[in-house]
């Protein structure tokens, strides 16, 4: 597994908890742990010419992002601004064309400030930060402590992390996602970027700052939806559901509406789900939270004797038919408007089980 801590003198990961790579700087992350990074004009010296020359080509000026603590670059040179002559200022078409590819340096300190502004009204904790690959890549992993655990009264927890990352070398666009993964290295932040709920992803070019500002409201909504999810889970954890009731709901839900009796496969699935209700991961067979947990566990992981490869199971669970089924079952249990439907499902399940 690649940590991305490529240069031990420059790369780092800061957290109060030691990560798997054992290279953590153990302390509370702070803004000043990130070095200040400034765009430094690029100059060159040509033979037979006196003095350094400003690195411009056509109407583009080039810069190098440099860390102020050691005076070394953190990425290759980039075109940081477009020079528009007075004669060209009135030519909007040319201005737009020349500015289109201009890179905007977005530093980890700016990302930190944006994150803290975004979460100013929320309880949060910056859990882990870092710079990797000779400081060409940065990340900030923020724990939404207000949503730290789904308070089920039985100790089960679901973490919510707001992870923000980007590449200063323009290899990776800045991205922010809601995830359950605490970023501590290259692999963990890559997994978070690939599987998290992406809230913002934008190339650091023209209008980047404007789009980042606009994204604030959408991300605030997403954080709010996580709070709604937490409240729904709290409600399920308070609703009793012993194994017999779980069996009835499973039977009524998985059996096709036009079927007058359960198939052998259906009977076996209900048995598996009822077993998971009481003995699945962290389940106790006592509440509707166990009811939901068992259903999602079966559709995510499959039964013990399944022959479908884990990768295919995961893809179906998160992106295919199983994902739709999990979402619908969740809605059946949590949507107040579907209470009559849920009661009808349980009643039908009782009749089906009586003739199974």
Query: What's residue 321's pLDDT?
Result: 64
Segment 117-134, tens digit of pLDDT = 888 777 889 999 999 999
pLDDT at 218 exceeding the cut of 60: yes
Return the minimum-mean-pLDDT range out of 26-35, 148-157, 229-238. Answer: 148-157
Averaged pLDDT for residues 179-188:
90
Q: Is 228 exposed, middle or buried (0-12, 13-18, 19+ CB in 10 A)?
A: exposed
Residue with the bigger pLDDT between 65 and 50: it is 65
Averaged pLDDT for residues 138-143:
95
pLDDT at 194 exceeding the cut of 90: no
Averaged pLDDT for residues 22-41:
96
Extents of the domains making up the chain: 12-33+106-215, 37-99, 239-354
pLDDT at 153 exceeding the cut of 80: no
Between CA 272 and CA 333 the distance in angstroms is 19
Cβ within 8 Å of residue 345, ≥6 positions away:
249, 252, 253, 332
pLDDT at 101 exceeding the cut of 60: no
CB 183 within 8 A of CB 189: yes
Of the chain, the percentage scoring pLDDT greater than 70 comes to 79
pTM here is 0.62
Residue with the bigger pLDDT between 55 and 311: it is 55
pLDDT at 337 exceeding the cut of 50: yes
Mean of the per-residue pLDDT values of the chain: 82
Show the 3-state SS of the chain.
CCCCCCCCCCCEEEECCCCCCCCCEECCCCHHHCCCEEEEECEECCCCCCCCEECEECCEEEEEEEECCCCCECCCCEEEEECCCHHHCCCHHHHHHHHCCCCCCCCHHHHHHHHHHHCCCCCCEEEEEEEECCCCEEEEEEECHHHCCCCCCCCCCCCCEEEEEEECCCCCCCEEEEECCCCCCHHHHHHHHHHCEEEEECCCCCCHHHHHHHHHHHHHHHHHHHHHHHHHHHHHHHCECCHHHHHHHHHHHHCCCCCCCCCHHHHHHHHHHHHHHHHCCCCCCCEHHHHHHHHHHHHHHCCCCCCCCHHHHHHHHHHCHHHHHHHHHHHHHHCHHHHHHHHHHHHHHHHHHHCC
Query: What's residue 204's pLDDT?
Result: 87
Query: What's residue 126's pLDDT?
Result: 96
Of the chain, the percentage scoring pLDDT greater than 90 comes to 46
Query: What's residue 44's pLDDT?
Result: 85
pLDDT band at 90 (very low <50, low <70, confident <90, very high): very low
Return the minimum-mean-pLDDT range out of 3-7, 177-181, 250-254. Answer: 177-181
């Amino acid at each position: 597994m690649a940590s991305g801590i490529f240069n031990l003198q420059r790369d780092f990961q800061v957290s109060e908890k030691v990560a798997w790579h054992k290279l953590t700087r153990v302390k509370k992350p702070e803004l000043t742990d990130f070095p200040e990074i400034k765009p430094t004009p690029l100059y060159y010296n040509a033979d037979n010419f006196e003095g350094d020359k400003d690195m411009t080509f056509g109407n583009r000026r080039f810069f190098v992002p440099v860390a102020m603590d050691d005076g070394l670059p953190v990425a290759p040179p980039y075109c940081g601004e477009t020079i528009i002559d007075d004669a060209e200022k009135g030519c909007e078409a040319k201005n737009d064309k020349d500015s289109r590819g201009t890179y905007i340096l977005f530093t980890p300190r700016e990302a930190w400030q944006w994150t803290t502004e975004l979460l100013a009204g929320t309880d949060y904790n910056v859990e882990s930060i870092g710079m990797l690959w000779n400081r060409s890549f940065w990340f900030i992993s923020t724990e939404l402590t207000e949503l730290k655990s789904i308070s089920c009264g039985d100790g089960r927890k679901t973490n919510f992390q707001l992870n923000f990352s980007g590449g200063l070398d323009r290899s990776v666009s800045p991205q922010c996602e809601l995830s359950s993964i605490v970023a501590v290295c290259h692999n963990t932040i890559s997994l978070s970027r690939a599987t998290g709920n992406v809230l913002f992803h934008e190339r650091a070019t023209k209008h980047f700052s404007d789009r980042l500002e606009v994204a604030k409201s959408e991300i605030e909504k997403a954080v709010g939806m996580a709070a709604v999810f937490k409240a729904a889970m709290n409600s399920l954890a308070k609703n009793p559901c012993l194994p017999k009731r779980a069996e009835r709901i499973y039977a009524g839900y998985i059996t096709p509406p036009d079927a007058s009796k359960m198939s052998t496969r259906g009977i076996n699935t209900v048995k598996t789900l009822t077993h998971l209700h009481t003995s699945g991961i962290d389940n106790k067979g006592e509440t509707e939270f166990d009811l939901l947990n068992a259903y999602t566990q079966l559709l995510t992981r499959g039964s013990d004797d399944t022959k479908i490869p884990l990768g295919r199971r995961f893809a179906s669970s998160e992106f295919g038919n199983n994902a739709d089924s999990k979402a619908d079952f969740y809605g059946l249990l949590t949507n107040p408007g579907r209470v009559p439907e849920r009661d009808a499902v349980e009643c039908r399940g009782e009749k089906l089980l009586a003739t199974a």
